[in-house]
Structure 1
């Protein structure tokens, strides 16, 4: 299906018309509390949601971009990353492409499951991303690695491509339900069945954000990875980019945004803000709606979905896939291995004492570490801290890199992977590490 075929489909065209007329009225009035920052947020319209955009982001060291939280500061960070990444792809520079994509994952708070994959697949990364970009620009959703993090990457290098994450999906689904109710449709048209995904919350979290837009007969599939994710990301991009262009010169507040690209980013940002938490009624009542919600239907899964809180990860040297999750007293591996927090603290203390903020390597050879002939590095520090089997640290390194405790070195002082310690993550007290507060931040609702 081409873009023109999709946006001119009967129900898609009707939805674009309907939503374009609702951008500045109370149809999308909404409110909630951001759990992570204990911050109340509200909007009186979709345009108001854009004006009230809030996403705290760190600075981008690789590009000299400062930290911020407004739409403008985030747009500046993304535009700098976009220019750098486009240049890296043009030059075929794998190292620079990997560095900037890792920085992008940090901007979006989606390092887990992505940074380890990117660094494990650095060789040939620029060509792979460029090939995927060209396919998506041609409307071809290839069978490729695709998730919320990679959606962010392709939004920078593809034409008119939006970030399609669980928040954008939730708000778009909520809008489609409102459209279906108003038009008295019996079900969600197939062309508008944008899949949804739950918020990433701590195991057994109390009152996590709701991102399930389904109401009674208005059903949506659950979002999985790969080709189908890419296909629906394309459709979301076609739909919203058509709307963004149509708004130019119109009466909506969005018309005051001069460029089509920035206007598209503003629409995406507005949906992102509304979609943080739809509430127990899916946004159907209370906040701008007047429809009595119906029970949600049973979940239908596209594929590749997992309701658990296991996170996909990849070892740094060989790219071996495994899964982990953060628990109260340990980081568990989906298998017999786990790393208790005390052992991690002792290992990191050893690294800090020896390296400070200087780079260190994996140094976890199964023969050399027990023999005492291995250079100092993660494997040696782990065994000195009481750990068994130094090669287990291949997984520990990938996890701690995912969690921003280890910062990857792209200008390596020697062969193999190298990292530096993120001192902010260590929770240092009298030279000793306490990693628990940092890990707890990763268990909060996003």
Structure 2
């Protein structure tokens, strides 16, 4: 039954997308972030996301909306980064192995560029934020219910066969959207919506704790700390987080507390040291191939990893870091571009948030910029221990920041040619002026 409902709803969305390309983009975002087709077993394996992407791009071109394409620093860096990933793939040490990840990343970046370019007003902007929050928030609500019903005895996981299947990935993804929940709550006019978002925030925190992920718990602490530092209502924030987190942590079984206690003993933890081994291998691969690296995720290949460090290759698995993943896959140049992208997004949001006292700036713009900063910090720290560089969620936030910069700093229209025409019409020869005066 769910398969039929999904197919009918998707068909309706695609029909609307033929006339309104942004509807297709929202559908694409929903499928990318929430992957509903993974839970509908009858349509499992059908490339619905590819069909949605194709229809959206075709509608975007036919509608001539692409003529409004405008380069900005963030969009430019995304395109440069995609180009460098292609160069790295060309020089990959194992092209067949890295090609899968290269194609996936390029498609993701294409989607993000379209998000940045097609989000042209407040309605579209908030619609995309809602899509991201509802997509991840729905999974978080399920995770919270699972934690409560099982008394925290089992880990909360994401949907199978998705990038968020891993409990660490899922917990950090939920922590990343926490600030966006507050943004939507600030924007909501109806009390029922505000209360609903507050309940979603509480369930998201429970889900993060329920993942039993140390990295996700650190991300949650970073969110609370950064939010507290940046807020004027420090006592209210501290009291609210304490009332939510303390009972939840007390509810969790003793094994959760024991696992979190090992955060301070990272050097004695085999899991953490395995991450360190992977980081060293990716660094050595980049050192051997400083410009283009070894190719995306080629450090997973035992033969390639063993070539630079045979001993660590036996223990290391995934890179477990967005930074070392990019470093090993695309070299120091690729990492520099990637870090420039993250830094540009953060400081762009920071600059807009500082304009909050400007009466010409709509409040929703600086509010989103303020919360987007927190999301970037949470993901930047959480991503240091996970392989989530290809996750669409944080990239959508970057795309929204890019769209926001264009809304805050609109392009100046070229009026020189129009002014020249006006001056030409108003100018008359001296003789004509004399005759007109005599009249």
Q: Which has a greater percent of strand?
A: 1
Same fold? TM cut 0.5: no
Q: Which has a greater percent of helix?
A: 2
Name the larger-Rg structure. Answer: 2
Specify the TM-score bucket, using the shorter chain as the normaliser.
under 0.3
TM, length-normalised to structure 1:
0.21
Report 1 or 2 for greater relative contact order, CA contacts < 8 Å, sequence distance ≥ 6.
2
TM, length-normalised to structure 2:
0.22
